[in-house]
Structure 1
């Protein structure tokens, strides 16, 4: 589990549109998986859909990490303090893997 250290990385929906789309898709897929289990559907189909949800969540997380890296690079290029340390980004990245 990650510590509760607060960093100043903005979660801008316009910048994270691709991640948000993936999360919305995963949300719908997860609802479908729940319904499949409630309806006692085929195990293989349930697991296939669950794997798709997991992949969508992973990709959204990696997109958010990527956005954090971009914000850090932009801050460095403009002479500002990056909103998050490289060590913290690495810790967040490893939490996803």
Structure 2
């Protein structure tokens, strides 16, 4: 579930300490949800390292492109999972609390994801 927006941090150090780099909002996730998302990102990170290795070994362009497409598909799956969670928790909660601006925020996010 999303936390409410916090005041502007005084410095970058405050951001680093809280892990906040964007809008100073946080989302509390269950350990299971966090683990699932982290595992997905770790697999994607491994795919990226594999592509880098392919480049270092002068692999055939088409083979690299196929792996790159696989990374894009994996990122899209990660984004769908996170977006679903966001809508079911943060967005629903904010709408119930009368914070209709969350719909504009969601639409802006969807526009970025659909580029």
Q: TM-score, normalised by structure 2?
A: 0.64
Rounded to whole Å, the distance in 2 between the matches of 1:28 and 1:64 is: 20
Equivalences, count: 91
Query: Contact between 2:94 and 2:102, CA under 8 Å: does it hold in 1?
Result: no
Give 1:63 shift: 1.4
Moved more, 86-95 or 48-57: 86-95
RMSD, matched Cα: 2.6
Matched, 1:90 2:107: yes
Match of 2:45 among 16, 19, 27: 27
Task: Write out per-residue CA displacement over residues 33-92 of structure 1, whole angstroms, 9 at most, x where no aligned residue.
Answer: 00000100111110000110111112112211111101032x269x5566x812112212
Specify whether residues 90 and 16 from structure 1 end up closer, same or farther in structure 2 by C-alpha distance, changes over 3 A only: farther
The worse-fitting range, judged by mean Cα deviation, of 16-25 and 48-57 is: 16-25
- Where does the alignment leave 5 or more consecutive residues of structure 2 unmatched? 1-21
Distance 1:13 1:55, change over 3 A: farther
Q: Which has the larger radius of gyration?
A: 2
